[in-house]
Amino acid sequence: MTLVLPAGDMLKKIQSDLNLTEGREQEDLSKLKEWLVLQPHLPKIDDDRLLAGFLYGSKNSMERCKKVIDLHYTVRGAAPEFFKNRDPKNADMQSCLESVYIVPMPKLTAEGARVTIHGLQDPAKSQFNASECMKLVFLTGDIRLREDICSGDVLIYDLSGSSLSHLAQLTLPLVRKFMICGQSAYPVRLREVHLVNAPSFLDKILALFKPLMKDKLADRVCYLQLFLMPV
């Protein structure tokens, strides 16, 4: 799927909100490259698009951007279950792709945000593996870092078909590691998180995730339970 990138007035608005101009952006990208040369534990990055993804997602804060880049690469050794064996053609990843979907919408919202929809493909046939699905989340994030520019993210999780057997795989150590990586090692500006078709055990899901969320994120989560959906 090709993502429509901001252009014209939309791009200018996003840049203005971040106090960025074309000249300022190039200057900041050059500073990041100079800083990276002095970080022997980090890879050399010449890809302006990738560095711009970090910069935009860090609200044009140079210090925050450096911290996120550092964590983005160093955390991989501590979380091999998310960052190793990510070839989409291997059996585990193929099984994951058959059980869940993660679909970034091609067009941006009027505010310049990117909407991404997550859900189960076919719960009846699903071979759900929580760590593999989390791996797919980060793989999608890595692709978007290189290919997308937006003002923020709106995440929609369609929980229809989810069951207690899915919940049982979400152990506290796994969820804690996932939340640390997602909130600290990726330059994500979350605008909204929507849980739709939420099951009756939603309280158990929230009890697992919410204590690990940063306050701003926790305040942006809203949900609609299945039995409240209009017929």
Q: What is the DSSP string of 92-127?
A: HHHHHHHHEEEEE-SSPPTTSEEEEEEEES-TTT--
Burial 3-24 (b: 16+ CB within 10 A, else e): beebeeebbeebbeebebeeee
- What is the total count of domains within the chain? 1
Q: Is residue 140 part of a domain?
A: yes
Say how far apart CA 70 and CA 216 lie, in whole Å: 23
pLDDT (tens, 9 = 90+) of the chain, 231 residues, equals 689 999 999 999 999 988 888 789 999 999 999 999 999 999 999 999 999 999 999 999 999 999 999 999 999 999 999 999 999 999 999 999 999 999 999 999 999 999 999 999 987 766 899 999 999 999 999 999 999 999 999 999 999 999 999 999 999 999 999 999 999 999 999 999 999 999 999 999 999 999 999 999 999 999 876 544 443
Q: Is residue 31 part of a domain?
A: yes
Q: Is residue 1 part of a domain?
A: no
CB atoms within 10 A of CB 134: 21
Residue 76 is part of a domain; what is its CATH number?
Answer: 3.40.525.10
Say how far apart CA 104 and CA 5 lie, in whole Å: 12
Q: Which domain holds residue 143?
A: 8-228
Maximum C-alpha span of the chain: 60
Closest CA to 102 of 110, 92, 113, 114: 114
Q: Is residue 213 part of a domain?
A: yes
In whole angstroms, how far apart are CA 46 and each of 34, 50, 70, 188, 191?
Answer: 11, 8, 16, 21, 29
Q: Is residue 3 part of a domain?
A: no
43 CB-contact burial (10 Å; exposed 0-12 / middle 13-18 / buried 19+) = exposed
Q: Is residue 210 part of a domain?
A: yes
What's the whole-model pTM score?
A: 0.91
Is residue 120 within 8 A of residue 160, CB to CB? The reply is yes
Helix (H, G, I), strand (E, B) or coil at 137: helix
Q: Is residue 2 part of a domain?
A: no
Q: Is residue 152 part of a domain?
A: yes
Say how far apart CA 50 and CA 53 lie, in whole Å: 5
